Amino acid sequence: MTAPSVLAIYGHPDDESLVVGGVLARHAAAGARTAVVTATWSPDSHRAAELADALKILGAGEPRLLGYADLRVPDSAPGQPRFCDAPLEESVERVVSHIRDFRPDVIVTHDAYGSSGHPDHKHTHRVALLAAHAAGLDDLYPQAGPPWQPSALYLSTHPRTASSALSDLLAGTGKRLHTVPDDLVTATVDVGPWLDRKWAAIQAHRSETARGRSLPALLSGLRTREREAVLGTEWFIRHNLKSSHNGLHQLAP
């Protein structure tokens, strides 16, 4: 059985590699179509170039950047509004157009916490959830292309009892990892066989690896075994988008 196609929707360049890089590499290796929509940073920025390198490693095609400004880095998209300030209808329609163009079986995005709670992550969750539902309705955003309804939306998350290594790593930066009760997690994916690609994709975000308090930089300072403990499993909460369970697709376990 062919692995389902996956469209990842995340807030910043490097989120895709850190949070769902293993799933993207795994599905691409199985012959599935994969792609990434990124909410922030200009297509002509250095972060966009790094994203292109990371997606090439993961087999996820060319970057699909919405081009909004990062909330905390206004010059990330000169002349453009911050993603959190942009009109909601506009942002949703633009994501709908990518969903209808790519026609994925499943979508993956941030959970409601946005992992570390970054406002761009949380807003990406809201926009992606609205767009995932709207994409299948022919009376909504007709100019965005023919309707397409993915089977499910998977929310990247962290279970309470299995995320201590990442929590400890972030604690040194003053950031908090938001976790969920274990029984809310509906998909646990072992990405160990694809860790080399995932780690190479994270390192492709060179400006983040060089920034002392960033997660890629912190991961670079770990021993290999410690880093594998942080990156080797990816967790998700499944949200069904079709009324029937017939024909629903699942992430490869």
pLDDT digits over 166-185, tens only?
A: 988 888 777 889 999 999 99
CA distance linking residue 127 with residue 137, whole number of Å? 16
CB 1 within 8 A of CB 30: no
Out of 1.10.10.10, 3.40.50.10320, 1.10.540.10, 3.30.1300.10, which CATH number does the structure's domain 6-240 have? 3.40.50.10320
What is the rounded end-to-end Cα distance, in angstroms, of the chain? Answer: 13
CB 22 within 8 A of CB 34: no
pLDDT of residue 13: 98
Of the pLDDT bands very low, low, confident and very high (cuts 50, 70, 90), residue 243 is low
**Which of 156, 216, 174, 178 shows the shortest CA–CA distance to 11?**
156
| Other C-beta atoms lying within 10 Å of the C-beta of residue 184 | 14
pTM equals 0.95
Q: Which helix (H) or strand (E) holds 166?
A: helix 164-171
pLDDT of residue 249: 72
Which two structure tokens, joined as six digits, stand for 62?
A: 């060319």
CA distance linking residue 13 with residue 18, whole number of Å? 10
Q: Decide if pLDDT at 248 tops 60.
A: no
> Domain segments of the chain: what residues?
6-240
pLDDT of residue 175: 81
Q: Decide if pLDDT at 154 tops 80.
A: yes
